[in-house]
Structure 1
């Protein structure tokens, strides 16, 4: 794998670590969950033949240190970080953006706040659950996760969170569904993933999943937006917002290989689908 060019960018309250590969028009990849630039390295490498691909560690994760480790997080500030990277790497030229999960939420806000800088935004299963008809139920889930995290710790909170994300009716399944085997590169990042979980559950989940996007603005900009979801995840909570928004905006939902973490479990197939989506 080709070594990327790396750099740091000073933003409000943090210093971002970013990586750049390839040549051509800029494509910014915004990771989700506890992922950072390393989680997108294989995807970035494959896309670098067609694009200048930028990846980064979101503030508070990996090499992107916060000035104040206890600072509360917001979608708007994370989206502004992405905007600052666009300004640095593609000054004056609109760029393509891909965001997965919580990174997809940041990409949605980036599109609404700085639409002139985004040529196309592909967002894969952004868990903007407050747009759903049963938003009150998910607000209660977030409150239970937060209470458990503060009073019982990480793993009990994760158990509540995971139960809230599972497929509708999955609690009645006779046995757990088998989990896909992770590629070696993804399995090797398990330690980093675990290290980032307290920050993710304590700061990112409550801020991002309680976020309410500007739906009127998104609909007006929907020609620049591709809503995507996993082929294997219908019925899961993370799949539902993208499907709901696609219906609301009269757009086709783009289906990608795998489920919510298809980018991790099916990196080659996912990347090919992303490449095709960006070209159309």
Structure 2
């Protein structure tokens, strides 16, 4: 049982969450730890934020350790797993969460340098992180990738590069679900809508906030905890017969 009296569905499990020092990743790491998992908190460079996430988990009675690796550079996946292996033997849950937004312009404003950077962080890094996870991932494990609602039903010209970088991960999810099914490993994507995090700092105010909130039947933006709850479900045994699925967590925005 956890401190709130709930069942610890992930007791005895080890999880890695990329980009877990802030925003959605932090909420996911905290929620998985609350469910009983020992969590590797990956971060790129913000040591203080990563330390704060680990401290928050430990203060609540959970277990966590930080893993620092810059993504989007040669050798990133190898460096991440080397750091992970220094703390843990084997993995049960991989959450590919880390990502960047890009310049938020229409196609004529996208630069080659910016697009290649998006692909390096959002597409190539999680692909090879997942590739190298497979020998470590125990049978019956979970792979969960945080995508975006923008890859289906909510395409926006000013996010074409970002959406394209995430759309590739939808394909990875479906292909790996077929490949890894015989091992009892499920592979799913969580596709959030607009989530109120520091990634959007200074933009989700006034008329913009009101308009975005009006696009969902629930009348509000998503929170990191909304996404974390869905990830925790997909990480648990309760979702054992769900695989190859893209779970929309946009509050109905894409209806």
TM-score by length of 1: 0.40
